[in-house]
Chain A
């Protein structure tokens, strides 16, 4: 389903890691046939537990890892394994990222402002000293800081929340079209998270920037995003508008995730106990649907074959519960 203002499209992305020695190799399929599209502008959440493959997807999009299979289209152009240096530079200018650990984002032995200057310089945003200062100051003001506060200081002199904001400022200097935010608030104090999450909202509404918001925190995902894709053990199991997916989850895993969120409301405590898998590896290596081991609705076919994507009421689900109900569609 391609739309006219589609910014990014991922098709059949797969990444297989081989571990072990010459004699015994284990193949871990970290990302399995993942497909989705990002419109402009929109905030798209890629949600899942740690180890679900979401960071790997981000790294593949950013070009840090090469995919085993699959294609990536940016603005309609195929950029998978892009070798042309000019095209790569253009891509980097338009697609920026921020990461989970604000204390690791910057080299502790370098000044934080150096990165801001370098971004300006390397992408030819400006080469004039004074203009660079102005641009950086503007970017910092957009995140609630200023060049004066930040100049000549090292990462150790800032708090996690401030560093994360500086990281966003750096990513905005090249006026990107797409921002990939990998767990941007999970290491920031709960009391400060919303100010960063609100930034993403502003970026979309005021500057038409799209954001891929990667997280395991469904509450902030609900708050900030338009659409959401739920990842489980390397596969996307449900995609759709965030209200529908999180308020009326279709896939049993999404249901489990939603129930497990600790509601900050003492009247809504968890009711039942749940089962955990003893080992993650077991689940990764399962044939068929990877959730079959814990699914309360499991059927025989679930253990044998991986279900296809089905469309139900505008939501894409990967589950045998729905295959007979609606038309089968490959996306």
Chain B
């Protein structure tokens, strides 16, 4: 069952500096379908547009971000609802109860001058109608137990906790109302390896218990390998490949994905690794045709003129590359 759908999304940042107008085409024709009860990963370099895509899906559209085209649909109680048709009030009602967002560097969303328990309490009060204080306290404790956090964090102030612990508390906060979709933007990037593992395991745990959907955005392919069911690779504002995790790692099709997988260092492997050559493209003046063509070693003259579409090549494996699409023939 589809829980979230994006159709031909185009979100640009319209900048006006000293009278010169420029559009940063951060999301450039993206269509995705996310299912219930899955972990959907979005991978890509910084500047490829993944954070913008997430913000658009969540409905957090503030100038200079503008949605130029496209729809975002949530599956609410069996019906597909276009979120841009809802007003601010209705959209806000969905947040945290239906869809949760954990932004990058979210450890700082906790109020530094109140105890953790108060943050939880304020949160629940703002979003539901619990009258019974005891009931609420019990549900908080239950939730913390379910996600494996020690109850003593409730009495602490945010600055007394380590970075990893703060992040887990933030995740617990974001999931206490049991939302159907959780969007996590680089949830473990600022943390060290051990804390990162704890965060990722926490997210996995929550998904397995609550059977909801997690959309996880990170450039770290190791994290995707451990948690995502399906991965979408983003490049210069477009999705260029999407498949099950095993497929992406064992059988990458797009030249960029191939480079990405090959360049990952592994312990036990001292063979020579190379990076993707060249530079990431500008989102203001992207290259014509396929946006990866200046860095691609399978480049053909047609790649400069035709922009490849995301096409399903084999079961659930989509790729946007002229090497595979029917425009070229095989």
Binding site for B on A (CB under 8 A): 49-51, 159-162, 189-195, 197-198, 216-220, 222-223, 246-247, 256-270, 273-274, 276-281
Residues of chain B within 8 A of A220, CB atoms compared: 265
Q: B270 on the interface (CB 8 Å rule)?
A: yes
Contact B268 A247 (CB under 8 A): yes
Q: Mark B233-271, 1 if CB is under 8 A from A, else 0.
A: 000000000000110010000000001110111111110
Interface CB pairs A-B, < 8 A, 7 = A51-B192, A197-B265, A198-B272, A219-B265, A222-B267, A260-B196, A262-B193
> Given A49-B193, A218-B193, A276-B198, do A265 and B225 touch, yes or no (CB 8 Å)?
yes
8 more A-B residue pairs beyond the given contacts A262-B196, A278-B156, with a C-beta to C-beta distance below 8 A: A191-B276, A216-B192, A219-B222, A219-B265, A262-B225, A263-B266, A278-B150, A278-B162
Contact A219–B45 (Cβ < 8 Å): no
Known: A190-B260, A193-B263. Is A274-B268 also a contact (CB below 8 A)? no
Nearest-neighbour CB distance to chain B for A95, whole angstroms, equals 27
Residues of A within 8 A of B279 (CB): 159, 161-162
Q: Give the contacting residue for B275; candidates A194, A256, A279; CB below 8 A.
A: A194
**Residue of A222, A269, A276, A279 with highest tally of chain B CB at under 10 A:** A276
Q: State which of A162, A194, A265, A276 has its C-beta within 8 Å of the C-beta of B273.
A: A194
Give chain B residues whose Cβ lies under 8 Å from the Cβ of A265. 225, 249, 266
Check if A274 sits within 8 Å of B150, measured CB to CB.
no
The residue in chain B whose Cβ has the minimal distance to the Cβ of A268 is B225
Which chain A residue has the least Cβ–Cβ distance from B223? A262
Chain B interface residues (CB < 8 Å from chain A): 45-46, 148, 150, 152-153, 156, 160-165, 168, 191-198, 200-201, 205, 219-223, 225-226, 245-246, 249, 259-261, 263-270, 272-276, 279-280
Residue contact B222 to A263, C-beta cutoff 8 Å: yes
Nearest-CB residue, chain A, relative to B201:
A273
How far, in angstroms, from A269 to B200 measured CA to CA in the complex?
11
**Residue numbers in A under 8 Å from B200 (CB-CB):** 262, 270
Whether B194 and A278, one on each chain, are in contact in the complex, defined by CB atoms closer than 8 angstroms, is no
B267:A262 contact, CB within 8 angstroms:
no
Could you say which residues of chain B place their CB within 8 Å of the CB of A197? 265
Picked from A193, A198, A264, A278, the residue with its CB within 8 Å of the CB of B266 is A264
Given A261-B222, A270-B201, A276 contacting B265 (CB threshold 8 A): no
By Cβ-Cβ distance, the 6 closest A-B pairs, closest first, are: A262-B222, A49-B192, A195-B275, A219-B265, A260-B197, A264-B264
Among A51, A247, A264, residue most surrounded by chain B Cβ atoms (within 10 Å): A264
> Once the chains bind, are B225 and A49 in contact (CB under 8 Å)?
no
Give Cα distance in the complex from A193 to B165, angstroms.
28
A264-B249, A269-B225 known; A222 and B270 CB under 8 Å? yes
Tell me the smallest distance from the CB of A115 to a CB of chain B, in Å: 21
Q: Check if B261 sits within 8 Å of A247, measured CB to CB.
A: no
B199 — nearest CB in chain A belongs to which residue? A276
Q: What residue of chain B has the Cβ atom nearest to residue A261's Cβ? A: B193
In angstroms, Cα B260 to Cα A195, docked, is 13
Q: Is B267 a contact of A278 with CB atoms below 8 Å?
A: no
| Contact between chains at B194 and A256 (CB < 8 Å) | yes
Q: How far is the CA of A270 from the CA of B199 in the complex (A)?
A: 12
List chain A residues, Cβ under 8 A from B164.
276
Contacts of A247 in B (CB 8 A): 267-268
Which residue of B153, B219, B263 has the most chain A CB atoms within 10 A of its CB atom?
B263
Asked if residues A246 and B46 are in contact (CB atoms below 8 Å), the reply is no
Cα(A260)–Cα(B223), bound, Å: 11
Separation of A274 and B196 alpha carbons in the complex (Å): 11
